[in-house]
Amino acid sequence: MTPNERYKKLKQHLKEENPVLLDVINEYENLDKVAHSLGLLAQDESYTANISWWPLISILGTFSAGKSTFINEYLGQKVQQSGNQAVDDKFTVICYSNNEKVTTLPGLALDADPRFPFYNISEEVEKVEQGEGSRVNLYLQLKTVKSDAIKGGILIDSPGFDADSQRDSILRITSHIIDMSDLVLIFFDARHPEPGAMRDTLEHLVGKTVRHRDGDKILYILNQIDTTAREDNLEDVIGSWQRALSQKGLISGNFFAIYSEEAMNPIDDPSIAERLKRKRDEDLNHILERMEGVKVERAYRISKALEDFAKDIINNKLPKLRESLSRWGKRVVITDTLLSLIFIGGAGALFMTGILPTSVEVIGGISAAITVLIIFIHFKVRKVYANLEIKRWAEKDQAIAKAIEYNTKWFRPVLRVWGKGWSQRVVDKLENIMDYSRAAIRKLNDQFVSPAGKESET
């Protein structure tokens, strides 16, 4: 995807979602222009590619734990099928669209689109299971939904997890999802009061995830606690699950217990019903707050990254680039001059000592030969010195190395004035961009004055 196409798609999407970010993206375009003109980015590259534009919230967990039911309620419409048998054995990426109708697209759409978290997943899958990479359609699909709840984020529903019968490709996709996600909700259900039978599943989902560097992004959700009403044993069920999880070392603060009001079984005893509802409301609120928080953070993160990119160019890349290019220019000029002096001096000596006759033809011939030789050597020399500078940066900072290559191409003037004027213009532009980023952050502050706006829902 070219930067232009990328911008078009991003803008299209952001226009529907958040006008502040639409402004921010224009500044990203300006930033790209500056970087292109400096050669820090190739023409087909863009800073927008390094950013996750849509924060990812993924829902993992066991079969019929109520993942799809939860998602449907969150979206306010029945997007996913639910039921007690395995109904949907694909990972479903759900994102916002203005279109009234829910649209389903094949996994290939995700594999090929760098805006989504499954870009190039087929390669990853192919690595762990040969031949499966070309069958991403079996594993993935994309649904677009018109629901305010999903604005500014992407949700992933997953097929039920069963460690015994899990294919490598599914495991690979699952760990990819956990890596990419800003928030992971892992669903278990209280119909299995004894987690013993699910030890392997737990090991896979929880054991792996708690070792994850940012464990706080994982929420463990015991669902369907309405089913504890009959024996009135909520505390026991929660206790045994918490013990099972804590053996795996989970962060205890991230354990929640909820049920779906639409899917629940009726509860006869009003005092039990009341107690369960209180627990559920409180925990659901925490979960929704975290989900909302992820979306708010992304808006700030995107604006802040703009400033950071600009700052990095001003304070870091630009001075280094200048240093390298002026050293390169100086060396080329000195070498050119020395060689010219040697050649001209040598020729002069040959004429003075009478080794060469001082006829017009010979002088003309020798001058022409020296000129050609110097020009030839000049281009060799600038290349050799440029390579030295490129090598200096190749490992430490690819962008600087690339910019050196770009600015030392054969047709670029060596004595291009790397004086104040040139870099000052760039710095001015970048400072403008930084001002813009700060203004955007202030606007976001206004936009998000009441953080947990979803609280009214429960």
Contacts of 58 (CB under 8 A, 6+ apart): 155, 156, 158, 177, 178, 180, 181, 183, 184, 185
Residue 91 neighbours by CB distance under 10 Å: 25
Contact region for Mg ion (CB under 5 A) — 67-75, 134-142, 217-225, 329-337?
67-75
Q: Is position 174 an interface residue for Mg ion (rule: CB under 5 A)?
A: no
Q: Report the nearest approach of Mg ion to the CB of residue 187 (Å).
A: 10
Beta pairing, strands 140-145 & 91-96: parallel
Q: Is position 66 an interface residue for ligand GDP (rule: CB under 6 A)?
A: yes
| Among 46, 68, 144, 201, interactor with Mg ion by CB under 5 A | 68
- In the bound state with ligand GDP, the residue whose beta carbon lies nearer, of 273 and 333, is 273
- In the bound state with ligand GDP, the residue whose beta carbon lies nearer, of 69 and 437, is 69
The footprint of ligand GDP on this chain (CB under 6 A) covers a number of residues equal to 22
Which x/- pattern over 79-98 shows residues binding ligand GDP (rule: CB under 6 A)? ---xxx--x-----------
Decide which of Mg ion, ligand GDP, none touches 223; Cβ closer than 5 to 8 Å per partner kind. Answer: ligand GDP
**β-bridge mates for residue 155, sequence order:** 57, 94
Nearest Cα to 326, choosing from 385, 383, 393? Answer: 385
| Among 224, 254, 303, 437, interactor with ligand GDP by CB under 6 A | 224
Q: Is the dihedral of CA 448, 451, 456, 458 positive or negative?
A: positive
Decide which of Mg ion, ligand GDP, none touches 257; Cβ closer than 5 to 8 Å per partner kind. Answer: none
Tokens, residue 164: 């015994």
Q: What is the DSSP letter of 152?
A: T
The answer to whether 451 touches 292, Cβ cutoff 8 Å, is yes
CA gap 119, 136 in Å, rounded: 11
| Among 68, 144, 209, 408, interactor with ligand GDP by CB under 6 A | 68
- In the bound state with ligand GDP, the residue whose beta carbon lies nearer, of 66 and 117, is 66
- In the bound state with ligand GDP, the residue whose beta carbon lies nearer, of 187 and 220, is 187
The answer to whether 228 touches 264, Cβ cutoff 8 Å, is no
- In the bound state with ligand GDP, the residue whose beta carbon lies nearer, of 81 and 398, is 81
Q: Report the nearest approach of Mg ion to the CB of residue 255 (Å).
A: 22
Q: Is position 64 an interface residue for ligand GDP (rule: CB under 6 A)?
A: yes
Q: Which of residues 82-111 bind Mg ion (CB under 5 A)?
A: 88
Which x/- pattern over 226-265 shows residues binding ligand GDP (rule: CB under 6 A)? xx-------------------------------xx--xxx
Burial of 237 (0-12, 13-18, 19+ CB in 10 A): buried
The answer to whether 310 touches 430, Cβ cutoff 8 Å, is yes
Nearest Cα to 35, choosing from 316, 296, 259? Answer: 316
Q: Report the nearest approach of ligand GDP to the CB of residue 400 (Å).
A: 49
Q: Report the nearest approach of ligand GDP to the CB of residue 226 (Å).
A: 5
The answer to whether 223 touches 217, Cβ cutoff 8 Å, is no
Q: Report the nearest approach of Mg ion to the CB of residue 216 (Å).
A: 26
Contacts of 354 (CB under 8 A, 6+ apart): none
The answer to whether 181 touches 57, Cβ cutoff 8 Å, is yes
Farthest CA pair distance, the chain: 122
Contacts of 314 (CB under 8 A, 6+ apart): 427, 430, 431
Decide which of ligand GDP, Mg ion, none touches 350; Cβ closer than 5 to 8 Å per partner kind. Answer: none
Decide which of Mg ion, ligand GDP, none touches 265; Cβ closer than 5 to 8 Å per partner kind. Answer: ligand GDP
Which x/- pattern over 105-134 shows residues binding ligand GDP (rule: CB under 6 A)? ------------------------------
Helices (runs of H) and strands (runs of E) counted in the chain: 15, 8
Q: Report the nearest approach of ligand GDP to the CB of residue 115 (Å).
A: 26
Q: Residue 57 in 3-state DSSP?
A: strand
Q: Report the nearest approach of ligand GDP to the CB of residue 254 (Å).
A: 19
Nearest Cα to 327, choosing from 401, 386, 399? Answer: 386
Token pair 């800003």 in the structure block, residue: 182
Beta pairing, strands 154-157 & 56-61: parallel
Q: Report the nearest approach of ligand GDP to the CB of residue 192 (Å).
A: 12
The answer to whether 67 touches 94, Cβ cutoff 8 Å, is no
Which x/- pattern over 138-177 shows residues binding ligand GDP (rule: CB under 6 A)? ----------------------x-----------------
Contact region for ligand GDP (CB under 6 A) — 78-86, 244-252, 313-321, 327-335?
78-86
Tokens, residue 117: 């978290």
Q: Report the nearest approach of Mg ion to the CB of residue 198 (Å).
A: 17
Beta pairing, strands 140-145 & 103-106: antiparallel
Decide which of ligand GDP, Mg ion, none touches 91; Cβ closer than 5 to 8 Å per partner kind. Answer: none
| Among 9, 16, 36, 63, interactor with ligand GDP by CB under 6 A | 63
Chain residues that interact with ligand GDP, rule: CB under 6 A:
63-69, 82-84, 87, 160, 187, 223-224, 226-227, 259-260, 263-265
